[in-house]
Amino acid sequence: MPMFYSSRSDSRSIKARGRIAAMLRTISVWTCVAGAAWMSPGAALADSPVYELGPQDKIRVSVIEWFTGAGELRSPINGEYTVSPNGLISLPLVGDVKALGLEPTVLATQVSEKLQAKLSLSERPTTSIEIVQFRPFFVMGDLERPGEYAYRPGITALQAVSLAGGFYRAASQTPAQAQREALQAAGERRSLSARVTELIVRRFRLEAELKNAEAIEFPEDMSSRKADPVVAAAMRLEGTIFDARRRAFSTSIAAQKKLIDLYGQEIQALKAQAESLERHRDATKQQADNLRSLQSRGLATMGREFDIDRMLADVAIRKQELDGKSLRLQQELVKAENATQEADARRKQDIAGELQTLQGALDDFEQKLLLADQTLAETELMPSRNQRPGFKLVRQDASATETEIVATSATPLQPGDILVVQFAHSVRTNVAGRETGSTLGAQVPPNGASVTEASAAR
């Protein structure tokens, strides 16, 4: 770090320090301008007059501050920082600073202002920002090595193609080999599509079971394909399984309900017996009261009261037995009702687990279908020498809005661009029995269907 020493009483030294500080501020401003200018030598960066920072950009931040009392230059911040995915850089003493969508000079000014406010400085420090590494760009389409590549200022679409190994070519493959691979991929794809169809039909069956529906409700696009042997077989199989499982569950629930009814009837019978015993007890007590009244008047002999007391004791014992049996039956009734509810909850839990497993299998088959389609595209849609490539750029601004730009081989790229390179192909029927063709855009399944459902429909 440069150090300057001087005396307070030397006026010439004070003036010299002022001139040095002014020179440093001027140099720093030129550093910011140069840091933005060297990014696109000879031309503006991708036809843009300024460069706006974005995620994955790596910058070097240098802050220089003149301390008058110490007569020295200090650099509280000096290092390299990468713009985070949310568009921020984290600086010491300052904290998080938004860099997304800002020019380097604007960011340098904001850093100086934040540092001055944070440290309560009398003068604003000087900040310079230099772009060390641009965020990468991406290439995809009919290329040898599509993927992510480091950005270089002034790179064009054709130069990006050369970085990706050039246009896709299969010179090492003979037509017979390509046809054989296409046939294998087509056969695998038909098998995968049939398996996906079976899983989709099974999902409709499980969803119907989860709702306790009376029958499986298939959507119109699935019902309209009953003429397809694969679809018809899958619907018959899942319908048979649905009916069998529904009958088994209904039988189990009906048996539990019948047991609950029997418990209820037996409890009611015990209640009736208990009421009869209570009436018998009341009658016996009335008889004992009458006997004692007659005895008090000398109209009845002594001794019969012992028989009546014994009868009352027997009635009390039988009443206790009935109450105990009734209590046990009520406990069994509660257990039977809980068992019915637990059986329904366990069934729904099992169905939910099956649905989760099925969705995982569908996702796996989706990846396999995409791989099979890619193999077919590589073997059936190989570009020929008389075909010309098409270029398209997908560019995202600071607000995450994507814009598609029709490009040429000489179009300059910007950091973060996605370059799509594809050859135009005439539509024809391939070995898989489907129409093929290529345009600069991805095919989207109709009505928002998933890839697996669209593949199964084809």
How does pLDDT run across 183-222, given as a tens digit for each residue? Answer: 777 888 888 888 888 899 999 999 998 888 888 988 888 8
In the numeric block, the tokens 């310079």 are attached to: 128
* Cα separation, 240 vs 211, whole angstroms: 17
Please check whether residue 88 is in contact with residue 96, taking contact to mean a CB–CB distance below 8 angstroms: yes
* Cα separation, 248 vs 374, whole angstroms: 45
pLDDT tens figures, 15-49: 444 544 444 444 444 333 333 333 333 333 434 45
* Cα separation, 15 vs 21, whole angstroms: 10
pLDDT value at position 159?
92
- Between the alpha carbon of residue 275 and those of residues 159, 268, 269, 322, 323, the distances in Å are 101, 11, 10, 10, 11
pLDDT tens figures, 100-121: 889 899 999 988 888 888 877 7
Please check whether residue 179 is in contact with residue 431, taking contact to mean a CB–CB distance below 8 angstroms: yes
Q: Please, how many CA atoms are within 13 Å of residue 171, restricted to the half-sphere of its CB?
A: 5
- Phi, psi angles (nearest 5°) of residue 435: -80, 140
Q: Does the predicted TM-score (pTM) go above 0.75?
A: no
In the numeric block, the tokens 């054989």 are attached to: 180
- Phi, psi angles (nearest 5°) of residue 275: -65, -40
In this structure, which amino acid lies at residue 204?
F
Helices and strands (H, E) in the chain, number of each type = 8, 13
In the numeric block, the tokens 């300052």 are attached to: 94
* Cα separation, 223 vs 230, whole angstroms: 12
* Cα separation, 129 vs 116, whole angstroms: 17
* Cα separation, 14 vs 6, whole angstroms: 8
Give the homologous superfamily in CATH for domain 57-133: wza like domain (3.30.1950.10)
Which residues of the chain fall short of a pLDDT of 50? 1-17, 19-48, 426-458
Closest C-alpha to 422, from 451, 381, 373, 368: 381
pLDDT value at position 393?
92
Please check whether residue 379 is in contact with residue 182, taking contact to mean a CB–CB distance below 8 angstroms: yes
pLDDT value at position 49?
52
* Cα separation, 173 vs 169, whole angstroms: 9
> How many residues comprise the chain?
458
Strands (E) located in 334-434: 389-396, 402-407, 418-423, 425-429
In the numeric block, the tokens 């760009």 are attached to: 137
